[in-house]
Amino acid sequence: MTKFFLYARKSTDEPDRQILSIEAQIAELKEFATKEQLNIAQTFIESQTVKEPGRPMFNDMLSQIEKGKAEGILA
């Protein structure tokens, strides 16, 4: 069975500009995965300012994909 990572992110700089909360993103992505019969291997949550370079959780997720732990990302 193909595995996917679930990735939810919210900027801490602009809370009024982000439409969905992290919890709402996760719920929507899980609902989509269930509907499409996709297996979620792991959930990655990132919440940080865009003023600082890099996204550690995203980079870790990509590294794990390169190692074959999942085939794609639901975001």
- Summarize pLDDT for 14-41 with one digit per residue, the tens: 555 556 788 999 999 999 999 999 999 9
Q: Is the pTM of this model over 0.75?
A: yes
User: What's the confidence (pLDDT) of residue 25?
Assistant: 93
Domains with residue ranges and CATH for the chain: 3-10+19-74 (3.40.50.1390)
Tokens of 14: 């602009």
Q: Which residue has the higher pLDDT, 34 or 48?
A: 34
pLDDT of residue 71: 96
- The number of beta carbons lying within 10 Å of the beta carbon of residue 67 is 8
Q: How many angstroms separate the CA atoms of 30 and 43, rounded?
A: 10
What integer best gives the mean pLDDT of the chain? 87
Range 14-36 burial, b when 16+ CB lie within 10 A, else e: eeeeeeeeeeebbeebeeeeeee
pLDDT value at position 20? Answer: 76
